[in-house]
Amino acid sequence: MPQGPVDASQVPRFAGPDTYARLPRIDQVERADVAIVGVPFDSGVSYRPGARFGPAAVRQGSKLIRPYNPALDVSPFADLQVADAGDIACNPFDIGQAIETIEQAAGEFDAGLVTIGGDHTIALPLLRAAAREHGPLALLHFDAHLDTWDTYFGAEYTHGTPFRRAVEEGVLDTEALSHVGIRGPLYGKADLKEDRRLGFGIVTASDVMRRGPDEVAEALRQRIGERPLYISVDIDALDPAHAPGTGTPEAGGLTSRELLEILRGLSGCNLVGADVVEVSPAYDHAEITAVAAAHVAYDLISLFALRRGQA
């Protein structure tokens, strides 16, 4: 039987372990079906830093998470052994070396990974590791920004370039790539043309408002099919009203409810890995962003559990 979180009726939520959702550490269980791992790295940011403190903030914001998810009718911590695997320590001064470290460490887990960032640079090594096991991946990318630019100041590896590199390296299935939540000004119309050339479809934040989460989720399911799916959630997909604690905020974003409902609409998809990135707690207020990210991670874990139940 899986070992679950500390019992909140016995240990108050403001006490107990500082793990995600007060779950056991990975060294306290015999195995893990899903591992929560932090990557406190933000050397790839182009504007406000601080996402290196994101993993700790999301763990703090997860203390109120309870074992049963009524929205998806699943008890993920009872159906799966979920454990907190701590953080992947990587070089903050050398982006290339950090990417290598993250890729190697991610590949050593014999579990589904839900990774807490850190900036979006970390998605590239996580995708590489997942693709080594599962082959080219469908990608569902929640973000205000495309993150398919070529370089920043001549640098090929930043938080704005991971998905361009992933397409170039062949780790993504270009028939099943989607952005959700895109909005705000761009450098030029060519940004959109380049993104389409790489194979991405775009669901803007305005599209979600007009079409609704259920219709958007169904369209995404059709695009994904049964392919192995990686979900990458930049918390700035949310409007700054719902996620002020992030490095590159853009007005006009998704609500927390919209994001969670789209994720819940993906029940049954072949999820093989996920991340939640760009939480920068220095800009947060009353843990708004950290709590939102913690709940996003919870629904991602729940999707793993539902897939296991249908297998």
> DSSP per residue over 161-206, as a string?
SHHHHHHHTT-EEEEEEEEEEE-S--S-THHHHHHHHHTEEEEEHH
Percent of the chain with pLDDT over 70: 99
pLDDT, residue 264, reads 98
Q: Catalogue all structural domains in the chain, each as residue range(s) with its CATH number.
A: 20-309 (3.40.800.10)
Measured distance CA(68)–CA(58) in Å, rounded = 19
Tell whether 239 is in a known binding site.
no
Tell whether 214 is in a known binding site.
no
Q: Does residue 223 have a pLDDT over 80? A: yes
Q: Which residues pair with 206 in a beta bridge?
A: none
Q: What is the pLDDT of residues 157-186, one digit of tens each?
A: 999 999 999 999 999 999 999 999 999 999
Band of residue 310 on the pLDDT scale cut at 50, 70, 90: low
Averaged pLDDT, 242-258: 98
Q: Does residue 106 have a pLDDT over 80? A: yes
**Beta-carbon neighbour count of residue 286 at 10 Å?**
9
**Beta-carbon neighbour count of residue 285 at 10 Å?**
9
Q: Does residue 52 have a pLDDT over 90? A: yes
> DSSP per residue over 143-163, as a string?
-SS----S-BTTBSSSTTSHH
Tell whether 147 is in a known binding site.
yes
pLDDT, residue 26, reads 98
Q: Burial, 70: exposed, middle or buried (Cβ in 10 Å; 0-12, 13-18, 19+)?
A: exposed
Averaged pLDDT, 246-265: 98
Select from 264, 276, 173 the least CA-distant residue to 217: 264
Tell whether 299 is in a known binding site.
no
Q: How many separate helices (H) and strands (E) can be counted in the chain?
A: 10, 8
Tell whether 150 is in a known binding site.
no
pLDDT, residue 308, reads 81
pLDDT, residue 309, reads 62
Structure tokens at 293: 């990210």
Q: Furthest-apart CA pair in the chain: how many Å?
A: 57
Tell whether 120 is in a known binding site.
yes
Percent of the chain with pLDDT over 90: 98
